[in-house]
Amino acid sequence: MAIALQIKGLRKVYDNGFEALKGIDLEVKEGDFFALLGPNGAGKSTTIGIVSSLVKKTAGDVHVFGHSIQTDLAAAKREIGVVPQEFNFSNFETVWDIVVNQAGYYGLSRAVAGERAEKYLKKLGLWDKRKVASRMLSGGMKRRLMIARALIHEPRLLILDEPTAGVDIELRRSMWEFLTEINKSGTTIILTTHYLEEAESLCRHIAIIDGGNIVENTSMKALLRQLQKEVFILDTPEAISPDLVVEGFDTRYIDEHMFELVLNKGSSLNEVFAALNKQGLVISSMRNKANRLEELFVGLLNAK
Amino acid sequence: MTLAEQWVAFYTIVRKEIRRFLRIWMQTLLPPAITMSLYFVIFGALIGSRIGQMGGFTYMEFVVPGLIMMSVITNAYSNVVSSFFGAKFQRFVEEILVSPMSNNTVLWGFVIGGVARGLLVGLIVTLLSLFFTSLHIQHIGVTIAIVLMTSIMFSLAGFINAVFANNFDDVSIVPVFVLTPLTYLGGVFYSIDLLPDFWAGVSRLNPMLYIVNAFRYGVLGVSDVNVTTAFLMVGGFTIAAYAYCMYLLSSGTRLRQ
């Protein structure tokens, strides 16, 4: 399988002396759905900026499908579609013009651009808005417009910098479905997000960046295996006592119909239910207290 | 990108630029038409009739070429500086920067957009001038060549201004405080033969004098300066401005962090 993105020893020192990247290495395989996570100011957007050539690197190598951004930038750019964090289109142009003009910048004829614009605007639910000036769109529509624009030249690598920031839950879910669909069709996707649930449900591999360094780079499954414990919230139809004890597990009383239970690595839910049955406790529902990845993420950053 | 793809990209920028200034014609085409009509009425018809002949022509005939050139210069410059700075300000310049277009394609796309507006406004002003005087172009080749070269040169200059501009004040500083005074003092309204020797010498340091006079030579057949010198100067400035624009694009100065 080809390497979609290869980063070696990438360093960036801004003019004000701030070292945003301290020599990171990263590899994303073709077809992957890759999450690049990190707190604000960790270096995610700088990394994306360098790959998409909007930020100049201080040192290191970047190859996109084998094309060096140093020596073969035009070929590398052709392979990439970028959806930035901030809106970056003309407020006065229509949705249609923004997408079709972007195709023109990649040398696509207006006939081809028109066909593709129709395809992606329809898929992203913007077809009815094609004649509307972009400033009239809602926040969610603007995000989808940037995705359509990034896909118009059908890149093999799509980079999305927090694409669902400020997007309502329903729309976020539909964007997840869309991204999953294009990933299945062969497009490699790199995603940065603050919604860890998003990364967990979409991505197969993950890198966590902090302070300009990659602190973790593994598969999502391997990362989640590092989880030492999970906390569940259980609901009971019958009232429980504040002194509730479940044999073999740590618990915390929340209210008379709800309590927390800690499941350590190595234990199974069967054991939990066996213990609950033994005490005659009926459980009406249960859920994770927090996103699993979130716990790991916080743990990794705190461990530094 | 292949040459054909670069052509598509170039055409896309030019088309977008032309559509932009046509869409906002009340800001781009109407003001110079009104301003120049007022110049024709006041300086040409009202005051000009009392001034008499200048350089062997009526005052109206004398000022028309300079006023046309002034419009071309201002509009070619303003189009590129406002459009490219607007793209920087709203960050949609990134659409261009992430694409595989060559720097030449980007630069000439914007420059031809500026040239198109400069020439269109020049044509409008020329047509308006026909209500006040008749024009018999003496050297059509010189006229076309100097107006084209000048509009390219000032489009390039506008691009440089846009790259360095940090706010909208920076966009208007050069047209208001540099271009307009130099053009007014560049022989649009008078022949430098009227000036004392010292001031005539100072005027010869003003590049606008050469541009205005070369155009006047094309239209009327008279000039205060050597026309070959004017072409060499405009050509030299154009090449220097082009080289600097290409340096700015390839180095990413003020465009890439």
Each residue's pLDDT tens digit, B56-76: 888 888 889 999 999 999 999
More confident residue, A154 or B198: A154
Q: Give residue-wise pLDDT tens across range B196-215.
A: 888 888 888 888 999 999 99
Print the domain residue range for B34. 3-251
Do A182 and A298 fall within a single domain? no
| pLDDT (average), residues A60-74 | 93
Q: Where residue A293 falls among pLDDT bands split at 50, 70, 90? A: low
pLDDT tens per residue across span B139-165 = 999 999 999 999 999 999 999 999 999
Q: Please check the confidence at residue A71 and state whether its pLDDT lies above 80.
A: yes
Domain for residue B256, yes or no? no
Host domain of residue A259: 229-303
State which of A86-95, A117-126, B32-41, B111-120 shows the largest mean pLDDT.
B111-120
A247 and A146 together in one domain: no
Buried b (16+ CB within 10 A) or exposed e, A182-219: bbeeebbbbbbbebbbbbbebbebbbbbbbbebbbbee
In a domain, B257, yes or no: no
Q: Is the pLDDT of residue B237 over 90?
A: yes
Report the pLDDT averaged over residues A82-108. Answer: 93
Q: How far apart are CA B126 and CA B140, in angstroms?
A: 14
Predicted confidence (pLDDT) per residue in B7-40, tens digit: 999 999 999 999 999 999 999 999 999 999 998 8
Q: Provide mean pLDDT across the span B161-181.
A: 89
Torsion of CA A39, A43, A46, A48, to 10 degrees: -70
For A166-177, what is the mean pLDDT? 81
d(CA A38, CA A303): 14
Query: pLDDT-based confidence at A294, cuts 50/70/90?
Result: low
Residue A49 and residue A131 share a domain? yes
> Cα–Cα distance between B161 and B85 in angstroms, integer?
8
pLDDT cut 90: percent of chain A above it: 47
Higher pLDDT residue, A287 or A179? A179
Smallest Cβ–Cβ distance between A74 and the set B1, B252, B256 belongs to: B1
Report the length, in residues, of chain A. 304
The answer to whether residues A214 and A238 belong to one domain is no
Among A225, A250, A284, the domain-final residue is A225
How many CB atoms are located within 10 Å of the residue A235 CB? Answer: 15
Say how far apart CA B234 and CA B232 lie, in whole Å: 6
Q: Is residue B216, in this structure, part of any structural domain at all? A: yes
Query: Who's near B230: CB < 8 A, 6+ residues apart?
Result: B146, B210, B211, B213, B214, B223
Kindly state the average pLDDT of the residues A130-142.
Answer: 91
**pLDDT value, residue A249:** 86
Residue ending a domain, among A171, A204, A225, is: A225
End of a domain among A207, A225, A243?
A: A225
CA-CA distance, A66 to A81, in Å (whole number)? Answer: 16
What is residue B252's three-state secondary structure?
coil
Enumerate the residues of chain B whose CB falls inside 8 A of the CB of residue A102. Answer: 95, 99
State the nearest Cα–Cα gap between A53 and chain B, in angstroms. 6
Q: Which helix H or strand E contains A63, and what residues bound it?
A: strand A59-64
pLDDT exceeds cutoff 80 at A37:
yes
Q: Do the chains contact at A105 and B9, CB–CB below 8 Å? A: yes
- For residue B46, the SS3 value is helix
Among positive and negative, which fits the CA dihedral B99, B101, B104, B107?
A: negative
Instruction: Calculate the average pLDDT of chain B.
Output: 91
The answer to whether position B198 is within a domain reads: yes
Report CB contact under 8 Å: A104, B12.
yes
Residues of B in contact with A14 (CB under 8 A): 257
At A227 the pLDDT is 66
- Taking the CA of residue A97 and the nearest CA in chain B, the distance in Å comes to 9
Residue B220: pLDDT above 60?
A: yes
Alpha helix (H) residue ranges in chain A = 44-51, 73-79, 95-105, 110-123, 139-151, 169-184, 196-202, 220-225, 269-278, 292-303
Q: Is residue B37 part of a domain?
A: yes
Residue B19 lies in a domain: yes
Residue A105 to residue B87, Cβ atoms within 8 A:
no
Of A88, A98, A109, the CB nearest to B94: A88
B214 domain-assigned: yes
Domain containing A298 — which CATH number? Answer: 3.30.70.1560
Are A106 and B252 a contacting pair at CB < 8 A? no
Contact assignment for A54 to B101 by CB distance below 8 Å: no
Q: Cβ separation of B16 and A55 shorter than 8 Å?
A: no
Read off the CATH number of the domain in which A59 is found: 3.40.50.300
Same domain, A166 and A294: no
What's the pLDDT tens digit per position in A172-213? 888 888 999 999 999 999 998 877 778 888 888 989 888 888
Indicate whether A221 and A233 sit together in one domain: no
Are residues A159 and A173 both part of a single domain? Answer: yes
Mean pLDDT across A82-103: 93
Q: Is B25 in the A-facing interface, judged by CB distances under 8 Å?
A: no
Among B90, B97, B99, the residue with its CB nearest the CB of A90 is B90
What's A135's DSSP letter? G
pLDDT for the residue A182 = 93
What distance in Å separates the CA atoms of residue B69 and residue A137, rounded to the nearest whole number? 42
Return the structure tokens found at A131.
């004649």
ipTM score: 0.88
Nearest Cα of chain B lies from the Cα of A154 at a distance, in angstroms, of 13
Among B138, B20, B118, smallest CA distance to B69 is for B118
pLDDT class of B52 with cuts at 50, 70, 90: confident
Q: Is the pLDDT of residue A304 over 70?
A: no
Rounded to an integer, the average pLDDT of A281-294 is 77
Size of chain B in residues: 257
> Cβ A109–B102 below 8 Å, yes or no?
no
Q: Are A235 and A285 in contact (CB under 8 A)?
A: yes
Q: What's the confidence (pLDDT) of residue B177?
A: 87
pLDDT cut 70: percent of chain A above it: 94
Residues of A with CB under 8 A from a CB of B: 14, 49, 52-56, 73-75, 77-78, 80, 82, 84, 86-92, 97-98, 101-102, 104-109, 149
Does residue A115 sit in the same domain as residue A41?
yes
Structural domain count of chain B: 1
Instruction: Compare all CA atoms of chain B with the CA of A58 and give the residue at the minimum distance.
Output: B257
Query: How many distinct structural domains can be found in chain A?
Result: 2
Same domain, A89 and A214: yes
pLDDT score at A292: 61
Residue A185 shares a structural domain with residue A49: yes
pLDDT at A291: 61
Residue A278's pLDDT band (boundaries 50, 70, 90)?
Answer: confident
Rounded mean pLDDT of B223-237?
92
Q: What is the mean pLDDT of residues A32-39?
A: 89
Please check whether residues A235 and A221 belong to one and the same domain: no
A214 and A251 belong to one structural domain: no
Beta carbons of A106 and B100 less than 8 Å apart: yes
Of A35-49, A137-151, A174-188, A261-275, the poorest mean pLDDT is in A261-275
Which residue from B minimizes the CA distance to A53? B98
Tell me which of B8, B88, B98, B250 to substitute to probe the interface with A (most A C-beta atoms closer than 10 Å). B98
Closest CA to B69 of B6, B134, B154: B154
Q: Chain B residue closest to A51 (CA)?
A: B98
